[in-house]
Amino acid sequence: MADIAYALLKFIHVLSAALWIGAGVFNVFVIQRLLATAAPDTRRDFGARVFTASMKYLNAVGGVTVLSGFVLLYLHPHGMAGLTGSLWGKMVLAGMILSFAVLYLINFAIRPTMRAIAKISAQMPSDMPMPANLRFLMARIRITSIINILLLGVTFGLMIGANVVYFGP
């Protein structure tokens, strides 16, 4: 029974990680690209709706990934004590730190920048071209989102590597 619970928890962990990475990739390569070329009214209205929903989604799947990872770590034979004593533990620890870095960037870099974009967009007339400060903020969102994708990709690779180190090829 414990093996089934562990397998289910691992399934939830891997699924939420895949959803987290997938949402980041979709955001950068589809949503941000479309919003960058959209009309100001569309960018303001659609962007506000997507931002609120995506922040909740990214925090939810990120939180589930991190929490399920901690429970998996607790149930793992090496457990918390093995985090600094082996290659497996160092890889898992690095992945945890990178996951927290992504959650930090989402909440303390992207969220305030999106609020600034919304504030500028609300004051901007519809027929006015995009001002330089808005272009800068949108570029900052794009660069931070790309960094998040890279961090999540490295984390994913670290977790796969940790599995290979523990279980073998």
Which has the minimum average pLDDT: 92-96, 118-122, 134-138, 139-143?
118-122
- State the pLDDT at residue 111: 93
Whether pLDDT at 71 is above 80: yes
Mean pLDDT in residue range 53-67: 96
Mean pLDDT of the chain: 91
Judge whether 12 and 61 are in contact, CB under 8 Å: no
pLDDT recorded at residue 78: 78
Over 90: is that where the pLDDT of 12 sits? yes
pLDDT at 39 over 90: no
Does the pLDDT of residue 41 top 90, yes or no?
no
CA dist 114 and 148 (Å) reads 16
Task: Output the pTM of the full model.
Answer: 0.90
Query: What is the distance of C-alpha 73 from the center of its chain?
Result: 20
Give the residue, 80 or 93, on which the prediction is more confident: 93
Look at 167 and 70; give whichever has higher pLDDT: 70
Q: What is the DSSP string of 69-113?
A: HHHHHHHSSSTGGGTTTSHHHHHHHHHHHHHHHHHHHIIIIIHHH
Domain residue ranges of the chain, discontinuous segments joined by +: 2-167
Q: What is the pLDDT of residue 45?
A: 84
Torsion of CA 75, 93, 29, 54, to 10 degrees: 60
pLDDT digits (tens, 9 = 90+) for 84-127: 888 999 999 999 999 999 999 999 999 999 999 888 888 888 77
